Amino acid sequence: MTLYNANKDTSCLNFAKRIYQQVISSSNYLISGGVPEFFGERRTDSKEKSRDEGCSEADFVKLGLELWKATDNMDYLDKAEYCLLNELMYNQFDSGDFGSHPIADNFGFEVSQASGRCWWCCDYHGLQCMLEARDIIVTAKNGVKKVNLYSYIKYKDADIAFTLNKKVRNEASYNLVIDSCGKSEQTVALRAPSWAAQTTVLVNGKEVVSKPENGYVQLKRVWKKGDQVVINLTYKLQLVTFNRKTMSVTEMPGKLSKAALQYGPYLMSVDDAYSTSFMAEPSGRNMIYLQEKDLASGKIVKAGAPLTSNLAEAYLQMDYKHDGYYQTGKVTMRPMSEVTHGKLPNVQLWFNFEKK
């Protein structure tokens, strides 16, 4: 892609597109949105069967972003964002380092025998990737200012300046406030992401009724300093089977084994540090219950989140029955990226679900 950006030879672009498609169509494409350190191989020098790696994840995100910039295909942006918010953020240790973690088949990530901080490569790649992701939170093309990722940013060019940030820590809602502007008409385009069941936009308290065009809600007007845009995102709750079939709770069969749960852009997990009893033996047949009527109507029970959490809106409380027990208990499912705020525990990503 770097070569294509320099020479605009479509054979370079087509090569990258073809190899990318091969990766995401293979077992090398992880449920966490990233890729293992070694493709199609199992390590023979360690008890670890496979592992992720900061360099691999960073390069996969950057490749997706470059393909998106070259093609305007939103699927590339969706997958790059998913890897960034899940695999890459999980890959970063609480010390800031990036590195590797053992992958456990049919489970998730296991506690490593040794801390996999890779100062000689992953730290550089991981930080470079985060910098490049920051640079595309807002982009300008043909006079249109596009908000591509929902994160904190202060944007300014010759035409307009605005600040984007999260409105409330426990809601999927963002504020965009105009800091300065000229007297000419300007277009601000807000991404309506595929992981949102609904994207609602209000300008100065009045809802915008226009539908998204090419994945963006277009706001064209003469802006004034202090104008406020609120973007409310309703997260989809989706199940992903082991063979990568995505479905809603309504679409799932009565029971589903070895399935992952996605909430908005986040892959949900259970870890034995935050939810200590869930993985206590025996746990192989633990069953998480999904209340179909409640979920279909948008009723999702939220769990309390630490004050340090940036994703408090994505902590979910679920009923479950522990393997070998009769009573129903409670478990907190949270984005896998939240696990990195402390010493890394075992992280489960594949579960048994039953629709109630």
pLDDT value for 42: 59
pLDDT tier for residue 344 given thresholds of 50, 70 and 90: confident
pLDDT value for 2: 95
pLDDT greater than 70 at residue 46? no
pLDDT value for 92: 94
pLDDT tier for residue 299 given thresholds of 50, 70 and 90: confident
User: Which residue has 């992981």 as its token pair?
Assistant: 195
pLDDT value for 253: 94
- pLDDT tens digit sequence for 308-325: 898 999 999 999 999 999
Asked whether the beta carbons of 199 and 341 are under 8 A apart, the reply is no
- d(Cα 111, Cα 123) in Å, to the nearest integer? 20
3-state class of 115 per DSSP? coil
pLDDT greater than 70 at residue 41? no
User: Which residue has 């939103």 as its token pair?
Assistant: 74
pLDDT tier for residue 333 given thresholds of 50, 70 and 90: very high
pLDDT value for 293: 84
pLDDT greater than 90 at residue 279? yes
What's the predicted TM-score (pTM) here?
0.95
pLDDT value for 288: 97
Asked whether the beta carbons of 102 and 109 are under 8 A apart, the reply is yes
Q: DSSP labels for 151-172?
A: S-EEEE-SSEEEEEEESSTTSS
Residue 221, strand partner residues: 186
**Domains, in order of start, for the chain:** 2-135 (no CATH), 138-234 (2.60.420.10), 237-355 (no CATH)
Q: How far is CA 132 from CA 8, 215, 259, in A?
A: 21, 21, 32
Percent of the chain with pLDDT over 70: 98
Q: How far is CA 339 from CA 104, 120, 148, 193, 197, in A?
A: 16, 24, 25, 24, 26
pLDDT value for 47: 59
pLDDT tier for residue 208 given thresholds of 50, 70 and 90: very high
pLDDT tier for residue 272 given thresholds of 50, 70 and 90: very high
Q: How far is CA 187 from CA 69, 144, 176, 222, 294, in A?
A: 19, 5, 13, 9, 39
Q: 119-132 burial by CB neighbour count: b if 16+ within 10 A, else e?
A: eeebbebbbebbeb
pLDDT value for 295: 84
- d(Cα 217, Cα 194) in Å, to the nearest integer? 13
- d(Cα 315, Cα 338) in Å, to the nearest integer? 10
Query: Exposure of 187 by Cβ count < 10 A (0-12 exposed, 13-18 middle, 19+ buried)?
Result: middle
- pLDDT tens digit sequence for 118-128: 888 999 999 99
pLDDT greater than 70 at residue 29? yes
pLDDT value for 210: 86
Higher local confidence (pLDDT), 206 or 341: 206
- pLDDT tens digit sequence for 156-177: 999 999 999 999 888 999 999 9
Q: Name the average pLDDT for the chain.
A: 94
- pLDDT tens digit sequence for 209-261: 988 999 999 999 999 999 999 999 999 999 999 999 999 999 999 999 999 99
